[in-house]
Amino acid sequence: MVFEAARYLGERWRDERSDASVAFDEALGVQTARWTLAGYEPTPPEIFEALMAALPTEAEGATFVDVGAGKGRVLLLAARHPFARVLGLELDPKLVDIAQRNLRQASDPERLVDDVSILHADATTAPWPLEPLVVFLYNPFAGPALSQMLDQLEASLEAHPRPCVIAYLNPLFLDLFMERGWSLAAEGGEDVACWAWVRASRG
């Protein structure tokens, strides 16, 4: 267990200092790279792009939602794809402030989406947008809270049927989705960078 924790921290340490990570922040004039003891870990840009290359639905017309949006890196990356809207949900108000600053300061010639925002919100109780959904999870919480979030999301999909897929990076609780009837649409990566796309049974 100690070895696994050390390996995990080593992977994250390298990710935030990788050429791609540093270059992303420098190019956009933002500060998204440093992980925090409160649980924020930046998603490596190359891993996000690998995920997006396997997106099992259309980006056009969909709202992208990053659950546990942290400092806003994934919001900025998602804005390079033709979503209708990009939205972050974040429980930590300090990270919300940092993300809002990054969204204001970012200068990105690759940006395609104008409507990009982050809300100080609890994803286990927050209402979901009514457009088709592309949701991103980088392990923002453990099993019980994930179940609460899925209860809320599935109730929304039941009341307002629409397509919904979830990108799950380092999918520690993937079995929970399978038990609830979600289907595996794609998977890839390895070690702490493994990922899966899952599709809702409703919608």
**Which one-letter DSSP state was computed for residue 195?**
E
- Structural domain spans, the chain: 2-199
Q: What are phi and psi of 120, to 5 degrees?
A: -80, 100
Cβ–Cβ under 8 Å, residues 137 and 166:
yes
For β-strands 63-67 and 183-188, DSSP reports them as: unpaired
Count of Cβ atoms closer than 10 Å to residue 159 Cβ: 10
> What are 124-133's pLDDT values in tens digits?
999 999 999 9
Domain 2-199, what fold? Rossmann fold (3.40.50)
Please tell me whether the overall predicted TM-score, pTM, comes out greater than 0.85 for this model.
yes
- Among candidates 133, 130, 137, 134, which has minimal Cα distance to 168? 137
User: Residues for the chain: how many in total?
Assistant: 203
> What are 139-183's pLDDT values in tens digits?
888 889 999 999 999 999 999 999 999 999 999 999 999 999 999
Cβ neighbours for 3, distance < 8 A, ≥ 6 positions apart: none
> What are 107-121's pLDDT values in tens digits?
999 999 999 999 999
Residue type, 144: P
